[in-house]
Amino acid sequence: METPEATTGAIVPPEVSPELLEPLVTVVATLGELGATPGDIPLAVPPGSLRAGLVALIANIKRAMGHGHGEATRLRRALATARATTGATPEPAAVPPGDPTVPRTTTGDPWATVMTITHAWREAVASVEATWATLAGDAVRLRDACGTLATPGATTRVTASHLEAAMAQQDRARQKLLEATRALPVTSEVASVAEVLTAHRKQVAEASAGLEAATEAIEKTAVAMVETAVTEEQGRRATVAHEPLGRLVAACHGATHFYYHLRRCLEDIEATVGATAARHGGPDGGQGGPEAPGVAQEGPGVPKDLMAAVAVAEALWDASARLAKGHLLGTLRVARELLATLGVPNATVAISVAQRCRDATAALPGLLPRGLR
């Protein structure tokens, strides 16, 4: 597992807590729990079954968790350049080597570089937040579809007693046919022989049709019994899955909130950078007059509150990236294998997923730099 670099030189407010990262672990743990449940559940929503839906979720979860980090380092470098050049003759802004988020043509205004890096970072966080919000909606649809199956409908249950009744009806129809067949038409009147034979044939035909209908009723009852058993089993599985799916929905919402919290922090940083850049872009060549009341400075023109906010954002963004890389992405692959298995899941693999998630939870405090917890 990677160890985050300590963030120094900043007074960090208490917006950072290991508990904020827990929903990311809960998502993976819950997927492993669902993968350890035997069987699949056909659903009326795409892609057609619970396991297929969860496997589809994992692809987006991997994308959301696999974000990079290091934006805070680039931002601090740009802030250092802006601080060093504040009030000096404008020169080409120092762009961190190989930084793809900063246009190479940024020149003359170091605060423009700071704004570009901050904006790109916020956009990256907003994209991850949007992905988690979509995942929460997808999880809600799976949960609700299972809830519908778990709720008994108004259809009649076809049981063994229904089949016994159909078989009794078949026995009666068979007996009636035998009686009709054995009844020999007898008449003393030659003229009525044809009528008697016609009546006998009609009686036999009716008895035969009754036996055929009774046999067909048995077949339909047997099919309905199987369908009832399948429906009840699906309902049972849906009932079992409904509770962990509810936890999955809550965890996805929690992950969305984590990145929402981070995005709002970056919005504050961006607003502070904009205000600071405006103060140093005035007609007095960057001296800008007295600072706003209550704004503490770190060096020329860089508010200490800005550096503190950058430290908070870095702690959250980098910790989530390290959590994913060091613990969750590998465990997520194992959970996917469980969900892709239609047979009886491997109990050892399922236990492994649960243990990995417990290890990840235990590692959460160590992912945050000392002094931020």
SS3 188: coil
Q: Is the dihedral of CA 68, 71, 72, 74 positive or negative?
A: positive
Q: Provide the pLDDT for residue 197.
A: 73
Q: How far, in Å, CA of 313 to CA of 341, rounded?
A: 39
Q: Provide the pLDDT for residue 173.
A: 67
Residue type, 330: G
- DSSP summary character for residue 47: T
Q: Provide the pLDDT for residue 69.
A: 80
Surface-to-core class of residue 274, CB atoms within 10 Å of its CB (0-12 exposed, 13-18 middle, 19+ buried): middle
Q: Which of 315, 370, 362 is nearest to 22 (CA)?
A: 362
Q: How far, in Å, CA of 340 to CA of 334, rounded?
A: 10
3 falls in which pLDDT band (50, 70, 90)?
A: very low
Buried (b) or exposed (e) across 179-213, using 16+ Cβ within 10 A?
A: ebeeeeeeeeeeeeeeeeeeeeeebbeebbebbee
Q: Provide the pLDDT for residue 221.
A: 67
**pLDDT(373) > 60:** no
Q: How far, in Å, CA of 98 to CA of 73, rounded?
A: 13
> How many percent of the chain have pLDDT more than 90?
40
Q: Provide the pLDDT for residue 124.
A: 95
- pLDDT, mean of residues 49-57: 95
Q: Provide the pLDDT for residue 334.
A: 95
Q: 178 or 96, which is more confident?
A: 178
How many C-beta neighbours within 10 Å does residue 178 have? 12
Q: 160 or 15, which is more confident?
A: 15
